[in-house]
Structure 1
Amino acid sequence: MEQSKEIEPVAQQGVISKLKNMNIQLLVMAAAIIFIMLFFSIMTEWSYLTPRNISNLFRQTAITGILAIGMVFVIISGEIDLSVGSMMGLLGGAAAIMDVWLGLPLPLTIVLTLVAGFLLGAWNGWWVSYRKVPSFIVTLAGMLAFRGILIGITDGTTVAPTSDAMSLIGQSYLPNMFSLLAGIGCLVLYFAWQKKRDVTRDKYQLPTAGNQALLLKNSAIGIAVLAFIWVLNSYRGVPTPVLLLTVFLIAGTIIASKTRFGRRIYAIGGNIDAARLSGIDVEKTKMSVYAMNGFLVAVAALILSSRLGAGSPSAGNIAELDAIAACVIGGTSMAGGVGTVIGAVVGAFIMASLDNGMSMMDVPTFWQYIVKGSILLLAVWMDSATKQRR
């Protein structure tokens, strides 16, 4: 009896420790998504969950998600970028001018826009890294300057309509069979990589997940991916912007977790002095982060102009708020050194869900701004409170 009484507290402690080690942030985000879906579905008489609206929702998520992927690396490095909205508007306007006014071929327009985004990002990074100007000031100046340049080159008018070829970037859909086969292929590759990883861990006697837990996890992932493709295919297919978001999500995750460059970003954000003493070229790394962010902003700009069918002087207005909020909601710490790409994309989905739902309910624009601003403040407060408890 005494032995059993001693064993029970130990077992309870084991359960408690496992619960503490669970990703609370992921559970909170999942609960938030479920609540948002149910609330807006009830308020819109379930039209919120129709395949057509879900397709539109993921198309909205694509732009904010791509911006958030670039922003999460900037924030992890301990910096900020307030210019992404104006930069996206400028690059989208420039792409529309090249397409509508100059009549350039689509491939050339894409290349020039991506190069311009890379250079604008590197410009911000150069001032932050090598001139030691605070990123808040540099990107605030960029926010104003880029918006001014956009208004100047468009003469304050909307550049439209874009060509049919341009519309393929943001308005086209993948064939149903292609989407299904691509989804199955990605799942097969993921499961094969996971099996290879477990074999390697067993070889070096490292802990691995149990067979039952692994089976449940893989089954849940497989069902979720196939259900996602089935829902989108039941409307018109997987939107091309969603495919682009998925590609950059996978690439960003690999960069963050599997490359030296990614580890250097986390090291700089965690402790810049220790990173510099360990031999990391802090200035070069930060400039590279901003250049990568500018490239992703250019991708988002192409999608936005293609989706709107025009380049507008007001395009991308306060998009930086959505990107920063998505990162913070997804678990990225504003202090730097903490964050994940997938968390930022999930945060972008939450922000897009709110936008979509409030638009369907005809909520006034000023209330939409108030709600999103309040969510950003709440997310930062939760991050600060969690950091203090730690």
Structure 2
Amino acid sequence: MTDTTSNTPAADTGADRARESELSPVGRFLKATELDIRMLGMVGALLVIWVGIHLLSGGLFLTPRNLWNLSVQTSSVAIMATGMVLVIVMRNIDLSVGSVEGVIGMVMGVAQAEFLIRVMGFQLGNPWIWIIALAAGVVLGLMIGALQGFIIAYLEVPAFIVTLGGLLIWRGMAWLMTSGRTVAPLDATFQLMGGGPRGSIGATASWIVGILACVAVALMLLNGRSQRKRFKFPLRPVWAETLLGVVACAAILGAVWIANSYPWPIGIVRQYAQRTGITVPEGGLFIAHGIAIPVLIAVTVGIVMTFITSRTRFGRYVFAIGGNPEAAELAGINTRWVTMKVFMIMGVLAAISAAIASARLNASTNALGTLDELLVIAAAVIGGTSLAGGSGTVLGAMLGALLMQSLQSGMVLLGIDSPLQSVVVGAVLVVAVWLDTVYRKRV
């Protein structure tokens, strides 16, 4: 039975129940749970892709090893996709994110592998090396975003032109810094942001994180119900709240179980055993990876960006400007400053992604981030962000990033050539935009 607030008129309640009785069982379920149909469709598409690739690859896709690697590979694109949501919601576009990622990655690589050691005299292993390099990258990302945002917002140059120029400029700057030379190796602590056996938190810590996440889900549902009662909004049925909590916790704990099912490679286990004096049993020593650090970073960024978009005045301004720029300006919103801040956020997120991507490679290369702008834009659009502006979700963009990376990873497993991979990615982007157009015409 559906709970209702005490001050709801009986006539309204009766009318609501009459309308509910006209809905199909699926419609009543969706109304009770308030699930987004587009989000459900994307999850369904993701599951179909996973199962299809798993069958075509002979059972290689849905394995702990591949899913763990998939989560790490998705992290950098997902982080930038959360910022691209804000950019596209405001009816702009950022074609430069891949090149910004590349130039920042090169700056961080040169800073820790050459400048701080050879020029500043830092010793290898100094804990300040990775901190200074990461801080320099974040500041540079903020400055690049501020520069591009200023030109777009205050000089009124279209974002397409500014960021298209940025795509060329920053890629060229990355090459000029080292004349195309790869910079390696990177600081050992910095490498932890890229994942790997040392860049994971292990089985015990992973279970703790999973349990805490489930507790957080329960508290969020309880708080949401409390807020609905406080402001006298209609309440979801108790069974719907319970179902949402159970499904969310099952997904979280399932992800932790998969991460803990992927063991360290045998060679690394032997080195670890020799270093720590552990005797390796005859059947081998199982040491789980657990959740990778870049995945934790991506999840944290997703939570922060979700809070910004849904719980802050700035987030409301972004969606108001995207919905109707003229009305937002007449309402007193400083649209230019908000636009500039959105591109600054995008620059910072590109810096975080650059740190993860370069740490995973243990090198800064001129090719870092090449064509990532395509994946990031596609992830945001596939995740439900409308190119017409005014709507989009961070969670949808992150799921879109997972879907895009799943396609790429699956095509690699199937031995599909790189040019054909680009064809598939481009086709998926076009279809996603078409579906968004069809959906908006029907709403």
TM score, norm. by length of structure 1: 0.95
Any idea what SS the aligned residue of 1:230 has? Answer: helix
What is the Cα deviation at residue 187 of structure 1? 1.9
The aligned residue for residue 202 of structure 1 is 229
Percent of counterpart pairs with the same letter? 36
CA distance in 2, matches of 1:20, 1:53: 33
* Whole-angstrom distance in 2 between the partners of 1:259 and 1:76: 16
Instruction: Say whether residues 1:360 and 2:413 are aligned partners.
Output: yes
Residues 1:12 and 2:65 are matched in the alignment? no
- Mapped partners of 1:327, 1:254: distance in 2: 17
Change (3 A) 1:8 1:202: closer
1:154-233 map, 5 Å: 154-171=178-195, 172-233=199-260
2:91 to 71, 74, 78: 78
Pick one of 95, 100, 112 that aligns with 2:108.
95
| CA 1:128–1:18: 2 relative to 1, 3 Å | farther
CA contact (8 A) 2:97 2:350 kept: yes
Q: Does 1:64 align with 2:77?
A: yes
| 1:44 paired to 2:57 | yes
Question: Can you list the C-alpha shifts for 1:209-241, whole angstroms capped at 9, x where unaligned?
Answer: 111111111111111101101110111111110
Cα distance in 2 for partners of 1:8, 1:269 equals 36
Shift of 1:283: 0.4
Instruction: Report the equivalent of 2:261.
Output: 234
Output the CA distance in 2 between the equivalents of 1:133 and 1:246: 34
Question: Is 1:135 matched with 2:159?
Answer: yes
Indicate whether 1:381 and 2:434 are aligned.
Answer: yes
Q: Which 4+ residue blocks in structure 1 deviate beyond 4 angstroms?
A: 7-10, 13-22
Distance 1:53 1:274 in 2: 48
Is it true that 1:338 corresponds to 2:394 in the alignment?
Answer: no
Which residue is 1:152 aligned to?
176
The question of whether the paired residues in 1 share the 8 Å contact of 2:64 and 2:258 is answered with yes
1:334 alignment partner, SS class: coil
Secondary structure of 2:49 counterpart: helix
Identify which range, 147-156 or 21-30, moves more after superposition. 21-30
TM-score for both structures, normalised by structure 2: 0.84
Asked if structure 2 preserves the Cα contact closer than 8 Å seen for 1:99 and 1:166, the reply is no
Which residue in the other structure is 1:268 paired with?
321
The one-letter code sitting in structure 1 at the alignment partner of 2:22 is: Q
Distance (Å, rounded) in 2 between the aligned partners of 1:366 and 1:79: 28
CA-to-aligned-CA distance 1:335-356 (integer Å, 9 cap, x gap): 1111000000000000010111
Amino acid at match of 1:222: C
Q: CA deviation at 1:34?
A: 1.2
Distance 1:123 1:267, change over 3 A: same
Of Structure 1 and Structure 2, which has the larger fraction of its residues in helix? 1
Residues in 2 aligned to 1:124 and 1:179: alpha-carbon distance in whole angstroms: 39
Show structure 2 runs of 5+ residues with no match: 1-16, 118-128, 263-288
Deviates more, 1:212-221 or 1:317-326: 212-221
Structure possessing the higher radius of gyration over alpha carbons:
2
Count of matched residue positions in the alignment of Structure 1 and Structure 2: 384
Give the alignment partner of residue 282 of structure 1, picking from 335, 353, 356.
335
1:37 and 1:17, CA in 2 relative to 1: closer, same or farther beyond 3 A? closer
Is it true that 1:30 corresponds to 2:43 in the alignment?
Answer: yes
